[in-house]
Amino acid sequence: MSSRLRIAIQKGGRLSEKSLKLLNQAGLDFDNRKERLFYSCQNFPLDIMFLRDDDIPEYVSDGICDLGIVGVNVLEEKKLGRITHSPLQIKKLKNLGFAKCHLAIALPEKDQFDGPGSLSKKRIATSYPHLLKKYLSDNNVEAEIVEISGSVEIAPTLKIADAICDLVSTGGTLRSNQLKEVQKVLESESCLIQTETKLSEEKATDIQRLLDRISGVMLAAETKYIMLNAPLDAVDKIKSLIPGMEEPTIIPLASDASKVAVHAVARENVFWETIENLKLAGASSILVLPIEKIIS
Ligand code: PRP
Ligand code: ZN
């Protein structure tokens, strides 16, 4: 058996590029020849296998791939689909924070909706029949599920369904098809999954290394380093305005005894409003810098 990890990533589509970017940011180098189904990392014992996202849970469950990056939507749909026979042998390691979207039920804009009961006896088109079935049974609604593999949003126009249950991200697809969202079925984002088949100690160690790196990248993405000058008597106020701040470093200024430099790590995104408030509190020469890595 190979001692190299194998991770399954979506071949094309909404997760593909960002999954690769995340691995890149975690320090993994691989050659970028698009036509290949396999990338091999030169500086980490890991190979990437590109698959249709629908196939990723099965490959990971079967242990053909040790890891996978997949949407919670696909994972949950596949889990429900397998519940009656052998359940998927997968554990979720971490939500990855990108490809955020939700699965929702939508109706033609002109239709009335007064709660789940309004869906009774309707035909609902979806690529997520198991999640939809669960939603309907949880809400005691009897409706017909019309399973469609793509372009679900045009089903009402084609008169093959009265409603749809599909992924919504910006809402643009619904709007351009004169549909309105009426019920949220599932929140989704990308996540890292691992097979539950037994792995060698070597692989387990490498997974932990990869996880630590990914956590570092994700933490750094929302953390900023702030530097500013402040009047001495405004320091307390300024400290209270910096979001998620750890104890700052205060440095005297060479030229002006009434002012200090404040250097701080903000554990949350720093928005323009915060900067405006810092200015109002007396801060000047404000710098907000991205942080590349955080290792605690
Ligand atoms: C999803 C979904 C909608 C669209 C919604 O499709 O099926 O078509 O995204 O996004 P929006 O709210 O930003 O318009 P996806 O792009 O994943 O492709 P697919 O339908 O071909 O699977
Ligand atoms: Zn779509």
What residue owns the CA closest to ligand 1's atom 22?
150
Distances (CA, A) of 250 to 4, 100, 235, 245, 259: 47, 38, 9, 13, 10
Reference 41, options 18, 22, 25, 24; nearest CA is: 24
Residue 14 near ligand 1, beta carbon < 6 Å: yes
CA 22 to ligand 2 center in whole angstroms = 24
> Distance of CA 91 to CAs 7, 60, 62, 105, Å?
14, 10, 12, 28
176 lines ligand 1 (CB under 6 A): no
Question: H helices within the chain, ranges in order?
Answer: 16-25, 56-61, 72-82, 129-138, 172-176, 201-221, 235-241, 272-280
**Ligand in closest contact with the CA of 103:** 1
Decide whether any atom of ligand 1 lies within 6 Å of the 173 Cβ. Answer: yes
pLDDT in tens, the chain (296 residues): 678 999 999 998 888 999 999 999 999 998 766 667 888 999 999 999 999 999 999 999 999 999 999 999 999 999 999 876 788 999 999 999 999 999 999 999 999 999 999 999 999 999 999 999 999 999 999 999 999 998 999 999 999 999 999 999 999 999 999 999 999 999 999 999 999 999 999 999 999 999 999 999 998 888 899 999 999 999 999 999 988 777 899 999 998 999 999 999 988 878 899 899 999 999 999 999 998 888 77
Q: Is any ligand 1 atom within 6 A of the Cβ of residue 171?
A: yes
Ligand number nearest to the C-alpha of 101:
1
Report the distance separating Cα 283 and Cα 242, nearest Å.
11
Q: What is the DSSP string of 123-169?
A: EEEES-HHHHHHHHHHTT---EEEE-SS-GGGTTTTTS-SEEEEEES
Give me the pLDDT at residue 292, please: 85
Q: Ligand 2 centroid vs 166 CA: distance in angstroms?
A: 7
Kindly report the pTM of this predicted structure: 0.85
Question: What CA–CA distance (Å, rounded) separates 120 from 133?
Answer: 13
Residue bearing the CA closest to ligand 1, atom 5: 168
Q: How many C-beta neighbours within 10 Å does residue 207 have?
A: 19
Q: What residues are paired with 182 via a beta bridge? A: none
The rounded distance, in Å, linking the Cα atoms of 230 and 237 is 10
Q: What is the Cα Rg of the chain in Å?
A: 25
Which one of the ligands is nearest to 102 CA? 1
